[in-house]
Amino acid sequence: MNRASKSTRHASLAALSACCLLLIICLLPGRAAVAAPVEVIEVASFEQPWAMTFLPSGQLLVTEKPGVLQLVATDGSKTPVIGLPKIAYGGQGGLGDVVLHPEFNSNQLVYLSYAESGKGGTGAAIARARLSYSNTGGALSELQVIWRQQPKVSGRGHYGHRIAFGPDGYLWISSGERQKFDPAQEMDTNLGKILRLNDDGSIPPDNPFAARGGVTAQIWSLGHRNPLGLAFDGHGKLWVTEMGPKGGDELNLVQRGANYGYPLVSQGDHYNGREIPDHDTRPDLQGPAISWTPVISPSSLMFYSGSQFPQWRESAFIGGLSAMGLVRVSFNGVSAVEAERIPMGARIRAVKQGPEGALWVLQDGSNGKLLKLTNSRNK
């Protein structure tokens, strides 16, 4: 998909040294380039990987969009986990996110997002199940669907369906507007919204629109397009990355009851050439912390807190599809700025911090590789 741009701002990239597998990190125009001692280790490869999470054992769970959940050992060997729900694979739909319950050690609950078929078309759903696993395999049991996009619609795009648990234990969900535009502003649907639920899918009574009941009670914020990154920073603030239309990718600080404007405003335009007013024309709507044109096609979001790369602590990392690498963002309170890019030579679907502070990266697409980024100075 050609994601052209409104402005002419460009970010410089440098080369990946194939011989020594050191990444050269390039800063934005006007800043000096510096070499970062990052060593890249290939761990495994997958069929259209989408998300990953670490188990207490150090093993990983990796989702493959066609409908396979892989249990991955530290040596890269992998075994499918059995017991998944029926998944509607096609277009941007399939098996999506995977996260552990905050009390996984005691309840063994895993949460999965995926596309499902039903009356009206397809929609995202979230199920939770108990995971039993060992060194040789895993299985899900007691699977229960706790949330669905409403309504199901035609098409196979913009599911969103990232999942995050907050420091207060609530379950947060990013829900795309399914390429239907107007639902992002409509309060009788949960499309184009950020949602806040209890861990069993029930609705907290203090949600901003709880008094309205129904699906509206799930909503925390609205006016989102295709929110594919959802993560809390070290101070408990929730951030979301979302793809703009033709230009205007966004990083947003998620605030209670806020309206982020899509499709009323955007820093991008419609693909058919029809213009969308910029955010500054509607001060009543929440503008982005950062907007990217040319786009980066943000696929995922995480905040770094490890010891492997102390210079990156409290930074956010965004997986870039069209950016073909990682985008690092630094913060001053609630102000954010792109700090640098790490070119990876491939579309990046997901990025995660490992237990030992390494960065783990999933490439997008068929034969997408799982890469481990470590600090070579620690050897």
Q: What is the pLDDT of residues 118-153, one digit of tens each?
A: 999 999 999 999 999 998 899 999 999 999 999 999
Range in 32-46, 116-130, 167-181, 263-277 with the lowest mean pLDDT: 32-46
At residue 30 the predicted structure's pLDDT band, cuts being 50, 70 and 90, is very low
- Residue 136 has a pLDDT of 85
* Chain-centre distance for alpha carbon 122: 20
> Are 144 and 247 within one domain?
yes
Q: Do 120 and 27 fall into the same domain?
A: no
In a domain, 373, yes or no: no
- Tell whether 29 and 78 lie within a shared domain: no
Is the CB of residue 140 less than 8 Å from the CB of residue 84? yes
DSSP reduced 3-state for 182: helix
Q: Is residue 331 part of a domain?
A: no
Q: Are 320 and 326 in contact (CB under 8 A)?
A: yes
Domain that holds residue 19: 12-39
Chain centre distance of CA 41: 23
Specify whether the CB–CB gap between 5 and 291 falls below 8 A.
no
144 and 33 in one domain? no
| Average pLDDT value for the chain | 91
pLDDT reading at 6 higher than 50: no
Characterize the bridge pairing of strands 238-243 and 226-232.
antiparallel
Residue 150 and residue 163: Cα distance in Å, rounded? 17
Which residues are annotated as catalytic?
158
